[in-house]
Amino acid sequence: MRHKDGREAVRAFKSKGTQLLSAPHPLKYIRWCEHWDKMKRVRSKFVDVLRLHVRGGAGGMGLPRLGGVGGAGGDVYVEGKEGHSLLKLRKARPDQRWAGAAGMDSRKYRICGEAGAELTIPVPTGTTVWLEQHQKLLGEINCAGDKVLVARGGQGGNPSNQYNGQKGQGHIVKLELKLLADVGLVGFPNAGKSTLLRAISRARPKVASYPFTTLQPTLGVVEYSDMRRLTIADLPGLIEGAWANVGMGHRFLRHVERTHFLLFVVDINGFRLSPKHPYRSPTENVMLLNRELELYSPDLLSKPALLMVNKMDSPNAESRLQELLHNLKRMEEVSQQFPEEFRPEQHVSFDDIIPCSAKTNQASVLHLKERLRMFLDLYQDLKDQQTAKEGKALQRIHGLLQEGPLRLV
């Protein structure tokens, strides 16, 4: 069936008068057709953006002759739940319409009508809730149990509204999922990110010799002998222009925002997306990754970062590594050789540069694993110390305020 799809694609191009079949390697095009067909199918299995139409329940009618008050309509909330996904949410309600229950009318045997039941929409943790119309942030779901109000129910009928029950609020809200992970892998396609994740954890992302084998984010858990665990996110490969949503663009960069630590993965052999694209050396790859993150959000460059130089089992890898290290020490000077649109204004600071061969050298993978833990623990300790200092400062200020008004000397 896959070969049939490829042949149909070739016939379609032939009918348009292209010279595809006279190309040196027409079968490569067939494989690419099959791969892109699969990309469409796989991307439909992972949902990280979902739009919902939400409406609060209508208020119940009041009873004017007895002064009865109608019940309020039910509110609509979004709540974090373990084990849920946006894909499950989409399947649960294909029309994506969610409404709270209406309040009950006032009646002679129940003067105050019962309020409508509130509706809770389960979402995965790491979800950001936006009001689509005004691009307003309504809230974030960081932990299970977190709730965000997305639509209020209508007011029940009462003297202030002539006993007419009011409609509930109606909105279109956008749910954006951002993976919560300790480490996010950043790199161009085919740099070896998935190979590294397979080597360092029990995750089994697809690995192949062509770019864009990772079509959806994958989380891997790194386990240590003392039961310590770290989570690593393998994200779809970045390409030039991702900050402007080229390629998978924002689908990739959105998830980087929630990681605590960035691990840049660079192929020591450089990278070339296709024959139509220019070859990029390892130094250029670092520079361009730096620029893409900066253009999307300069705050990403303030995150702690390590650089992993992969595929060190390649010929002439050592000499290329020395050239890369030399260039990284003088990034300001090297960046001047780039066109202005590719030149980062702020350079990322790497805490360490680690040569590795994720596929063939397990010792280098273990070394990387230990360095990741060391730096994560270090930055967590610094964060805890900063929090403790801020807490002591606040206690001191509260103590001084209790003694009397502060005076400037």
| 164 band by pLDDT with thresholds 50, 70 and 90 | very high
Supply the DSSP symbol for 21.
G
Q: What span, in angstroms and rounded, lies between the C-alpha atoms of 266 and 282?
A: 6
Instruction: At 73, list the tokens.
Output: 């309509």
Q: In what order do the strands lie in the sheet with 76-80?
A: 119-123, 76-80, 147-151
Supply the DSSP symbol for 179.
-
pLDDT score for 14: 43
The burial class, CB within 10 Å (0-12 / 13-18 / 19+), for 236 is buried
Interval 327-355 mean pLDDT: 87
pLDDT score for 9: 47
Interval 337-348 mean pLDDT: 83
Angular region, 261: left φ>0, alpha ψ -120 to 50, beta rest:
beta
Interval 232-253 mean pLDDT: 55
Instruction: At 327, list the tokens.
Output: 């260039």
For the ranges 131-135, 148-152, 306-310, 394-398, the lowest mean pLDDT is seen at: 394-398
pTM greater than 0.75 (yes/no):
no
Selection from 140, 137, 138, 165 nearest residue 153 by Cα: 165
Percent of the chain with pLDDT over 90: 37
Supply the DSSP symbol for 361.
-
For the ranges 81-95, 233-247, 284-298, the lowest mean pLDDT is seen at: 233-247
* Residue 204: CB atoms within 10 Å: 11
CATH no. for 50-177: 2.70.210.12
Cβ-contact 103, 113 below 8 angstroms: yes
Interval 216-240 mean pLDDT: 75
Superfamily of domain covering 183-383 = P-loop containing nucleotide triphosphate hydrolases (3.40.50.300)
The string of pLDDT tens digits covering residues 280-326 is 899 988 988 888 888 878 888 888 999 999 999 999 999 999 999 99
pLDDT score for 244: 42
pLDDT score for 5: 47
The string of pLDDT tens digits covering residues 31-85 is 545 544 544 444 445 677 899 999 999 999 999 999 999 999 999 999 999 888 8
For the ranges 18-32, 167-181, 182-196, 282-296, the lowest mean pLDDT is seen at: 18-32
For the ranges 9-13, 145-149, 283-287, 340-344, the lowest mean pLDDT is seen at: 9-13
Cβ-contact 237, 188 below 8 angstroms: yes
Q: Is the pLDDT of residue 17 over 70?
A: no
Query: Domain extents for the chain?
Result: 50-177, 183-383
For the ranges 20-29, 92-101, 159-168, 397-406, the lowest mean pLDDT is seen at: 20-29
Angular region, 186: left φ>0, alpha ψ -120 to 50, beta rest:
beta
